[in-house]
Amino acid sequence: MIKICGTGSALPAHTVTNDDLSKIMDTSDEWISSRTGIRARHLAVEETTTGMSVKAAEQALEEAGVKAEELDLIIAATLSPDHILPTLACEVQAAIGATHAVAFDLHAACSGFLFSMNTAAAYMQSGVYKNALIIGAETLSKMMDWNDRGTCVLFGDGAGAAVLRELPDDGTNGGLKAFVQYSDGARGGVLACGNRPVCHPFASHEPENQYVTMDGQAVYKFAVSTVPKVVTEAVEKAGLTLADIDHFVLHQANQRIIESVAKRLKQPMEKFPMNLQDCGNISAASVPILLDSLNKNDMIKANERIVLAGFGAGLTWGAAVIQW
């Protein structure tokens, strides 16, 4: 069985409330919180994507009782690494001393942690690797246009990690039970961010917008229509019903999206934990940070069933069912 054996997380020390934002741009706590549920976010000042990832990774390894040298795989999901090269996963590998691991980044935006976990699980199911470190980490604050109040108020910074192990079956039928994942590049323009243009002695292109742009209403409609379907599909694939699920740990983009998903799935809001009030949307980091806070606060009991679901730019979306 493939099991999450440890979790960890790290958030920047500096908290910025909606009222703080309203002092520097034309917005208000009422506008942001009524449309999104977000009241504050942590923004990196001294922290880095790699530094937060290392902290989260060390916590996850400690809880799992796994030494860094025992890792054979590190996958880091991020859209905001500190450097283009080397990759975040390789920087973490060096910092923790995971000398026997292969390390690489996986970029699937807000579905990144989920897709990384599924990728690690596929390696494990085929017998290639046994001990994996999965990271979701972002400093999204540097990807935002701070003159665009429609996007910059939604996002935050932070990192989460989990240690995934292939263990002998202990008779509980636990661990990862099923996953499904999708993408639709044809709709990718609704949530985008440009890169550096081609510029060399033989060609020079106009620079693209290097900050995140978003059609908020299109993204909202995408999320509320696809997430209930993908969650239902994953649960059915696991041979379970929605009533069997104890916690739905969804990507923390927007409280209204989560409420709409709960309503469409006919499940009570108590099953949908949230940290977006204090953290905003941290893309690939939001699911592992929330999972770690549930784990650390003893809010998940042994054998409880959890759905993890991600959705975002690409477009990408997916869900996994795990038994704790």
The footprint of ligand COA on this chain (CB under 6 A) covers a number of residues equal to: 18
DSSP type of residue 205: P
Place of tokens 């942590």: 42
* Among the listed residues 114, 163, 253, 289, the single contact to ligand COA using CB under 6 A: 253
163 in contact with ligand COA (CB under 6 A) = no
| CA pair distance 59, 292, nearest whole angstrom | 10
Q: Tell me which residues are annotated as active site.
A: 110, 251, 281
- How many Å from the N-terminal Cα to the C-terminal Cα in the chain? 11
| CA pair distance 163, 45, nearest whole angstrom | 27
- Closest approach of Cβ 298 to ligand COA, in Å? 29
27 in contact with ligand COA (CB under 6 A) = yes
Q: Choose the binding region for ligand COA from 32-40, 50-58, 232-240, 300-308 (rule: CB under 6 A).
A: 32-40
* Among the listed residues 219, 224, 265, 309, the single contact to ligand COA using CB under 6 A: 219
One-letter amino acid for residue 172 of the chain: T
250 in contact with ligand COA (CB under 6 A) = no
Q: Choose the binding region for ligand COA from 26-34, 115-123, 201-209, 229-237 (rule: CB under 6 A).
A: 26-34
Residues numbered 40 to 59 that lie near ligand COA (CB under 6 A) are: none
Q: Which of residues 68 and 214 has its CB atom nearest to ligand COA in the complex?
A: 214
DSSP type of residue 228: H
* Among the listed residues 6, 37, 158, 312, the single contact to ligand COA using CB under 6 A: 312
> Is the CA virtual torsion 238, 134, 103, 97 positive or negative?
negative
Say if residues 296 and 288 touch (Cβ distance below 8 Å).
no
255 in contact with ligand COA (CB under 6 A) = no
114 in contact with ligand COA (CB under 6 A) = no
With CA atoms as reference, report the closest residue to 41 among 146, 114, 147, 194: 146
Q: What are phi and psi of 164, to 5 degrees?
A: -110, 130
Q: What are phi and psi of 182, to 5 degrees?
A: -140, 160
> Is the CA virtual torsion 96, 97, 100, 102 positive or negative?
positive
Residues numbered 136 to 155 that lie near ligand COA (CB under 6 A) are: 149-150, 153
Return residues touching ligand COA (CB under 6 A).
Answer: 27, 31-32, 35-36, 110, 149-150, 153, 214, 216-217, 219-220, 253-254, 281, 312
